[in-house]
Amino acid sequence: MSQTVLITGASGGIGSATAKAFASAGYKVAIHYNSNADAANSLKKEINVLGGECAVFKADISDSTQVKTMFHDIKKTLGEVDVLVNNAGTGRQIMFQDISDELWHNTFGVNVDGAFYCCREALSDMIRKKSGRIINISSIWGVTGASCEVHYSAAKAAVIGLTKALAKELGPSGITVNCVAPGVIDTKMNSHLGEETLKELAEETPLSKLGTPEDVAESILFLASDKASFITGQILGVNGGFVI
């Protein structure tokens, strides 16, 4: 029987590539979105055309009640979640003194609270089965910090701390918890940086190019596979050598 993967924020660049990678590997895919219904449904059609099984689920993951409802609906539609990919995230460049209370709380609500709520819901079945994979998506800025992205850097650093601590707690239950920290990836989320800035970032990267959503997706798929069964609590930098 094929396993079920939940990918939060699946309507975005990395999320979409990850959903397609898992579908190609034979997983049933729960496509989560909050605001971009068109992109989520387009992704569903694309996976269906390729012969994959998937379904779309809407939720504000910063709301624990909506997360609980989403997991209930996924279980009814696709079965228990075997692999959880906490990919949904939000962030933008802004000077520290201009960060409002609302922006700070929203950034942590999506990036940190959302991951916490989804882990909590997924674990009841994973612990019972003594198996499961959790892959959290952080960022190189969660490792090094980024000027004008203090709120985002702090939230992504929290995701790394959550990963390491939860891996220690869940190891005896046969559940692995790992983290992928992407570098500069060629996605819509980074398009605001402008062509010139992106070119400079590519030049600063030892591999002399930007990463693709598929680069990150393949790393996530690897961590969910049996090939990564003895890997837990690790932060995998997919950054072309930007941070070493």
Task: Output the DSSP codes for the chain.
Answer: ---EEEETTTTSHHHHHHHHHHHHTT-EEEEEESS-HHHHHHHHHHHHHTT--EEEEE--TTSHHHHHHHHHHHHHHT-S-SEEEE---------GGG--HHHHHHHHIIIIIHHHHHHHHHHHHHHHHT-EEEEEE--HHHHH--TT-HHHHHHHHHHHHHHHHHHHHHGGGTEEEEEEEE-SB-SGGGGGG-HHHHHHHHHHSTTSS-B-HHHHHHHHHHHHSGGGTT--S-EEEESTTS--
Instruction: List Cα–Cα distances, 81 to 125, 141, 202, in angstroms.
Output: 8, 29, 37
What global pTM score does this model have? 0.96
Please write the tens of the pLDDT for every residue from 146-167.
999 999 999 999 999 999 999 9
| pLDDT (tens digit per residue) in 10-45 | 999 999 999 999 999 999 999 999 999 999 999 999
pLDDT at 193: 65
Give pLDDT, residue 102: 98
**Residue ranges of the chain with per-residue pLDDT less than 50:** none
Enzyme catalytic residues:
152
